Structure 1
């Protein structure tokens, strides 16, 4: 009879824990990174020979073997890979969009400012003595130089924004790496199959999700679930043998980003938000260099043209621009009479020659080509980002189909374990009543 009581009591304990597990699932149905848990039940080891039955039936009841998380490691790794690529494309697109905003082609932009120079020069060719047109020409030159400076400043601001985002991402990554080592220590102390172990494993996977979305990593696990982590790009250790590495980022003179791991060395990420930020910084640096080359050509062409002409007093024209980078380009302060409209043959000869700078190799064409290439790269980046986002969403859906909590299923499990718990309670009650009836005989 005592064994009947033990069987009922084991059922109460096991199904009580099963109900608690189902309750945890329901309570955490909307918790990000929570993996559905199931209770593993098994037949309890039988006791020794009992009074009324020897060497035949040896009932032992039921016991819990532990809590199991519903995860598919392959789907989890696939989701992390897809997330890293989506983060990379999104970060890169952000930098390219910032570059596109810097390339303002509106009324105050470089393109229309350059056009006003040539338009005013054409008007001067028709009326070379007009002082107002001469002043307007100088103003158009100054506006163009200012447009170059503004665009360079906007690109510099975009580069600084990318570098700031990279610093924030690296700081967050270092925090997550330290937290992962703390979880590793907890897993080594946790009791196998316990709810505490399952909670730590959930936190481990959440951290790995965040880390892999920032930087591609390779993970290996020991028997307790503790993870050893290294960077997939170069194999530099990040979390290993109780040691946590530290990542850092620096901004080079041209705006590009350089990453490193201490201890370890240089790191060149190929996926994750750090890779996207690095690629975005490379794009801004390339466009800044192209803009500087265009500014240098603009200053050289315009100065060469102006210095080949004669001003209103018959003197050779002076330089119109100083500085040979977009950020330093400045219009030289000149009077209206100093505009070299004439040449040796005619009073408007030099003004007419300016149109020769508008060919396919001219500054106007160079700016149009730069803006067109930027538009094409932006469109391509948006298409890549849309594809990567779709790929990530599909991978997340596949992973969640295994790990996510289904409230309908949990409701059915709740009902099942409630009935099992009531049956175990009834077993204890019957054992008690039977024992009392036997005692009442005496």
Structure 2
């Protein structure tokens, strides 16, 4: 009789647990990072012997062997790798697009203002003493200087935005590494094959996914479930997290940017605090993308500074070669401080300061504008080259971002097909376990009725 009770009780207990696991799967079907749980049920160990101990009793009910996660390590690694590539490409594309906006090109942009300035000088050449047209020309020059300064300021804002994102990413990365160190320690203390172990593995893999979108990593998961992380793309496989000692963590990442806009990411090794170095040669992740795009934007800022400085030099040199309508020598019309395009400005609002004449005619200097200011080294050509190069880089970055995102989505879909929750399958499993649970309950009910009938005999 006790064997019957054992069989029924074990069925109610373990099939009930299986039903709970299915319920957990269903409730977390849409939860990010959740891997489907599978229950492994086996026949319970032999519970004793039969009459007079002559025969071993088999069929002692059911027991839960383990609760496992439906997980494919190769698929998960592929997702992390593609997430790293997608994160890097996305960062480059986003900020290149911001730089394109900052350059303020188009019908009302910087290049348009420059063209308007030169057009006004052409108009002034037809009547060099016209005060209205003189005022229009100096105003157009002022608008051009403001437009250049505006573009330069916007590009600096892009650099600042890249630095802000890098700081935020570094903060998240350091936090994830600290949390992963705690998860490693918890995994060591948690029995494998349990709900708790599966939950910790979910947390570990979700943190790895988050990390891989920001930095390129190699994740080595040990047989006990702990993870060792090294930085990809580095010659010595710099350790970010060690699984050899519970709770050991990499030294923190740091982000710094110089005055030109170049971004440097410092990394401290988990096992050697003296192994500090920059991440310039590492591969993958949005942080690596930020390093790349910061360098590109810094180069664009440098090019704009050079173009603005050349424009100041060329305009002032051109004006100095002529004389004003009053006969005075032409002076400086523009100024710039330390070659910084954000500081470019006109030195006067008086249009009569424009040196329109030369020794040959009252508009002779104005007639030399094209050769002096609009050649292949002029501001229009330099700015057009800057805008064109940025547009090409932005287009290429957008294409790369789209392609890598598609690869990531495909990899994630493949992983999720292996580890995700299919509600139809879960419904079928639920029906099977409910029937087994009801059968076990019937066994208990039958045992109770039989026991009661036996007791009534006495």
TM score, norm. by length of structure 2: 0.92
Contact 2:43 2:59 in 1 (8 A): no
Trace 1:362-381 onto structure 2 (pairs within 5 A).
362-381=378-397
Does 2:264 match 1:258?
yes
Contact 1:111 1:367 in 2 (8 A): yes
Contact 2:88 2:285 in 1 (8 A): yes
1: distance between equivalents of 2:47 and 2:423? 38
CA positional deviation for 1:318: 0.9
Give the alignment's Cα RMSD to 1 decimal: 1.8
Task: Select between 393-402 and 260-269 the one with higher mean Cα deviation.
Answer: 260-269
1: distance between equivalents of 2:129 and 2:221? 84
1: distance between equivalents of 2:254 and 2:122? 55
Does 2:252 match 1:246?
yes
2: distance between equivalents of 1:342 and 1:112? 26
2: distance between equivalents of 1:295 and 1:319? 15
Q: 1:406 to 1:395 in 2, by over 3 A?
A: same
Q: Which residue of 1 aligns with 2:238?
A: 236
SS of structure 2 residue aligned to 1:48: coil
2: distance between equivalents of 1:270 and 1:278? 11
2: distance between equivalents of 1:208 and 1:198? 15
Q: 1:334 to 1:405 in 2, by over 3 A?
A: closer
Q: Deviations over 1:82-134 (max 9, x none)?
A: 11211211111111111111111245532122112221221222112212222
CA positional deviation for 1:361: 3.3
Trace 1:2-401 onto structure 2 (pairs within 5 A).
2-51=2-51, 54-55=54-55, 57-106=57-106, 108-234=108-234, 235-240=237-242, 241=245, 242-244=247-249, 245-262=251-268, 263=273, 264-265=275-276, 266-268=278-280, 269-323=282-336, 324-333=339-348, 335-356=350-371, 357-401=373-417
Task: Select between 221-230 and 158-167 the one with higher mean Cα deviation.
Answer: 221-230
CA positional deviation for 1:8: 2.1
Contact 1:108 1:147 in 2 (8 A): no
2: distance between equivalents of 1:50 and 1:438? 20
2: distance between equivalents of 1:429 and 1:111? 89
CA positional deviation for 1:41: 0.9
Instruction: Provide structure 1 residue ranges, at least 5 long, that are not aligned to the other structure.
Output: none
Q: 1:336 to 1:221 in 2, by over 3 A?
A: closer
Instruction: Provide structure 2 residue ranges, at least 5 long, that are not aligned to the other structure.
Output: none
Does 2:430 match 1:414?
yes
2: distance between equivalents of 1:407 and 1:116? 65
CA positional deviation for 1:186: 1.4
CA positional deviation for 1:14: 1.4
SS of structure 2 residue aligned to 1:229: strand
2: distance between equivalents of 1:161 and 1:51? 82
Q: Deviations over 1:387-440 (max 9, x none)?
A: 111111111110110111111111111110011111122223333444444555
Report the count of equivalent residues.
Answer: 442
CA positional deviation for 1:53: 6.6
CA positional deviation for 1:315: 2.8
CA positional deviation for 1:230: 2.0
Q: Deviations over 1:341-397 (max 9, x none)?
A: 111111111110002132333221222222122222221111111111111111111
SS of structure 2 residue aligned to 1:238: strand
CA positional deviation for 1:136: 1.8
1: distance between equivalents of 2:94 and 2:175? 24
2: distance between equivalents of 1:383 and 1:334? 46
